[in-house]
Amino acid sequence: MAILVTGGAGYIGSHTCVELLDAGYDVVVLDNLSNSSEKSLERVEALTGKKVKFYKGNILDRDILNTIFTKESIESCIHFAGLKAVGESVAKPWEYYENNIAGTLTLVDVMRQNDCKNIIFSSSATVYGDPAEIPITEECPKGQCTNPYGWTKSMLEQILMDIQKADKEWNVILLRYFNPIGAHKSGIMGENPNGIPNNLMPYITQVAVGKLKELGVFGNDYDTPDGTGVRDYIHVVDLANGHVKALKKLEENVGLGIYNLGTGRGCSVMELVKNFEEANGIKIPYVIKERRPGDIATCYCDPAKAKRELGWEAQYGIREMCEDSWRWQKNNPNGYEE
Ligand code: NAD
Ligand code: UFG
């Protein structure tokens, strides 16, 4: 039996493939490579010494999905595939709703036709909107999203919950990721953003490697200890391991499970910069800019439920996240491109 990993060539997906293979699972990846490179999967194979069965294709394509379910013996699906750029989603809402929502509906339909009713879905802290409580527990009410990307996550959570409610054969786990950063310790796998990065850590590493001149810090007048935005950064390998634990839970016929995956510790923009500088001995020039529209001041979770019910807890701290992000960027200044 194998695990279908949609979006498995991407940042979080490729790191999860390593942990799944190391845990003894067979892995089948479906990815259209719209935001990734097949090279990430070669690196997964090099690291694990195991094969990944790769299908290049779209989750909107029923034919390829049917081919996979006919040829492979799929027991569960970890569903990463989706578009994720917040700003782009504001400019191209239709493309985001089509890809993320229609794509997931197609996937789930083919899954049920093939009697595979186990899914882990990549959700996000963004579903909490401007959170009603800090630290954020899973009980915290969902909030207003500020962009179509966020709404796709919030709506897909609802869709998957409704499907599970109507058909108890489904097992659905929604994993709400906080801010994944870092890279595999080997330095041969990591985040590979297209163009100028939107997110903080890839921006920092590209300043460090000399591709960008300086970091813009989006606001230093928030109601936080140093005025800059506070987030719950989580090492991507910890996040990947969270999926292995969630899969074990799925195998117990959990029904519905919702879990925050974060460290539970808030870290400001300036703290992350300082940690990066100290961990790697590199200065990161920065300028203070206006607040970025849609940003919130503080977002970190209470990860106790994942610890209690999944037996999962983050192992790595900010320092290791900074070292590992830099090792990847330094060794691969152009990501997976030669
Ligand atoms: P990523 O872009 O690196 O990976 C997504 C993968 O999905 C890519 O390889 C892309 O080519 C593929 N893909 C996109 N649309 C597809 C389609 N229609 N058919 C087949 N493949 C498709 O992103 P990531 O950071 O690894 O994120 C993985 C998942 O986690 C996404 O759903 C994302 O929204 C979610 N998430 C990410 C973050 C984050 O900060 N990185 C935070 C919360 C949630
Ligand atoms: N920031 C800067 N300069 C930059 C980039 C970011 O100062 O160049 C600041 C932001 O203002 C924020 C913090 O760094 O305070 C983190 O910003 P990111 O863009 O790295 O992450 P966000 O928390 O804004 O969003 C991320 C993902 C979303 C996801 C959300 C919650 O991009 O998709 O985490 O999971 F929804």
pLDDT in tens, the chain (338 residues): 899 999 999 999 999 999 999 999 999 999 999 999 999 999 999 999 999 999 999 999 999 999 999 999 999 999 999 999 999 999 999 999 999 999 999 999 999 999 999 999 999 999 999 999 999 999 999 999 999 999 999 999 999 999 999 999 999 999 999 999 999 999 999 999 989 999 999 999 999 999 999 999 999 999 999 999 999 999 999 999 999 999 999 999 999 999 999 999 999 999 999 999 999 999 999 999 999 999 999 999 999 999 999 999 999 999 999 999 999 999 999 999 87
Q: Enter the tokens of residue 251.
A: 């195998």
Distance, CA 173 to ligand 1 centroid (Å)?
17
Q: Which atom belonging to ligand 1 lies closest to the Cα atom of 199?
A: 40
Which protein residue has the closest C-alpha to ligand 2 atom 26?
179
Packed helices 318-331 and 200-208: angle between N→C axes, nearest 10 degrees: 50
Which protein residue has the closest C-alpha to ligand 1 atom 6?
7
Could you give phi then psi for residue 126, rounded to 5 degrees?
-60, -25
pLDDT of residue 338: 73
Q: Enter the tokens of residue 101.
A: 């929502």
Within 6 A (CB) of ligand 2 lie 84, 86, 124-126, 177-179, 198-200, 203, 215-218, 229, 231, 269, 292, 295
Which protein residue has the closest C-alpha to ligand 1 atom 3?
10
Question: Under 8 Å CB-to-CB from 190, ≥6 apart: which residues?
Answer: 11, 183, 184, 324, 325, 328, 329, 332, 335
Distance, CA 234 to ligand 2 centroid (Å)?
13
Q: Is 149 a catalytic residue?
A: yes
Task: Classify strands 267-268 and 179-181 as parallel, antiparallel or unpaired.
Answer: unpaired
Bridge partner list, 136: 301
pLDDT of residue 56: 98
Distance CA 108, CA 127 (A): 21
